[in-house]
């Protein structure tokens, strides 16, 4: 038993350190993607500030600059996209550097079509590693699914997708579909990895990566597009959560279809034996 929804992924490449310009570009792409009437639109990792953490790690910028450009969850840019979600009447999800006090997290937010924040997630696995002194690149400490209009969702950010335990934890917490905002590898190995996460857990996955989009439903790729600033749209089938009621409905659906199928197979067998 499934719920089918239309989703879009945007392989938007942001400009480093240009939050205002990135927000304008992101809004324009959300508006453009909404013309196809998706119920959910996903954009990339670090899309507001331009995924700039490596500039700080490599000494090209200061931690203070990272803190200044990071956006609080109740900040004006988040409010802007809450208003846009209401205007477009669709759910929006995207990655950004989130300021929490004097710390910065690689974060993603899910906003529903009423402009309400359903959930946020802090990236829990970094390719660059982490250190307690890095207040500009704090690592997430929880892996939690959250409720959305389409059931429970889980978010993985970029490097998280390589670790099967992160995806599995989200599904064990009830996630019925997974979203991956990313700014990283876009080769064959990453495609195989995301496909594996979908098949291991029996859930659809929508990935918006800088340079490519990937949408998977029922263990198969239903949309794929290469290149920056591309929009991909497809339907995904979200499985119902396990329950006795859902199991009985599925049972009856099968039993009703079984009769004609078994009769047709019997006829083939009888014909072969004549």
- 236, containing H or E segment: strand 231-239
Q: Do 20 and 216 form a contact (C-beta atoms < 8 A)?
A: no
Site of tokens 């659906």 = 253
Q: Do 232 and 224 form a contact (C-beta atoms < 8 A)?
A: yes
pLDDT of residue 274: 87
pLDDT of residue 246: 86
Q: Do 26 and 8 form a contact (C-beta atoms < 8 A)?
A: no
Distance CA 190, CA 66 (A): 28
Measured in degrees and rounded to the nearest 5, phi and psi for residue 156 equal: -115, 140
pLDDT of residue 1: 84
pLDDT of residue 50: 98
pLDDT of residue 188: 93
Distance CA 270, CA 80 (A): 68
pLDDT of residue 242: 85
Token pair belonging to 33: 């993607």
Distance CA 12, CA 209 (A): 8
Token pair belonging to 17: 């350190």
Give the three-state DSSP class for 193.
helix
Options 3.40.50.410, 3.60.110.10, 3.40.30.10, 3.20.20.80; CATH of 2-240: 3.60.110.10
pLDDT of residue 10: 98
User: What does the pLDDT look like over 77-134, one tens digit per residue?
Assistant: 999 999 999 999 999 999 999 999 999 999 999 999 999 999 999 999 999 999 999 9
Task: Tell me the HSE value of 40 on the side-chain side, using a 13 A CA sphere.
Answer: 30
Give the three-state DSSP class for 47.
coil
Domains in the chain: boundaries: 2-240, 242-274
Q: Do 14 and 48 form a contact (C-beta atoms < 8 A)?
A: yes
pLDDT of residue 133: 95
Q: Do 199 and 111 form a contact (C-beta atoms < 8 A)?
A: no
Strands of the 220-226 sheet, one edge to the other: 146-148, 151-155, 177-182, 205-209, 212-217, 220-226
Which residue ranges in the chain fall short of pLDDT 50? none
pLDDT of residue 76: 98
């Amino acid at each position: 038993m499934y719920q089918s929804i239309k989703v879009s992924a945007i392989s938007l490449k942001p400009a480093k350190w240009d939050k205002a310009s990135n927000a304008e570009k992101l809004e324009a792409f959300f508006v453009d993607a909404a013309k196809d009437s998706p119920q959910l639109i996903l954009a990339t990792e670090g899309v507001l500030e331009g995924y700039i953490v490596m500039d700080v790690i490599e000494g090209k910028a200061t931690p203070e600059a990272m803190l200044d450009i990071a956006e609080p969850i109740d900040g004006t840019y988040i409010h802007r996209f809450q208003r846009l979600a209401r205007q477009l009447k669709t759910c929006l999800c995207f990655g950004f550097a989130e300021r929490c006090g004097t710390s910065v997290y690689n974060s993603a937010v899910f906003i529903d079509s009423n402009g309400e924040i359903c959930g946020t997630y802090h990236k829990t696995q970094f390719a660059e590693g982490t250190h307690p002194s890095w207040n500009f690149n704090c690592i997430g400490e929880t892996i939690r699914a959250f409720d959305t209009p389409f059931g429970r969702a889980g978010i993985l950010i970029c490097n998280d997708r390589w670790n099967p335990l992160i995806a599995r934890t989200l599904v064990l917490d009830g996630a019925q579909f997974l979203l991956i905002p990313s700014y990283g590898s876009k080769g064959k190995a990453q495609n195989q990895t995301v496909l594996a996460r979908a098949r291991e857990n029996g859930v659809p996955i929508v990935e918006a990566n800088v340079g490519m989009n990937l949408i998977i439903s029922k263990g198969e790729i239903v949309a794929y597009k290469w290149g920056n600033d591309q929009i991909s749209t497809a339907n995904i089938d979200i499985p119902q959560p396990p329950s006795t009621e859902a199991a009985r409905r599925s049972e009856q659906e099968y039993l009703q279809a079984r009769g004609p199928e078994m009769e047709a197979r019997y006829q083939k067998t009888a014909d072969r034996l004549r």
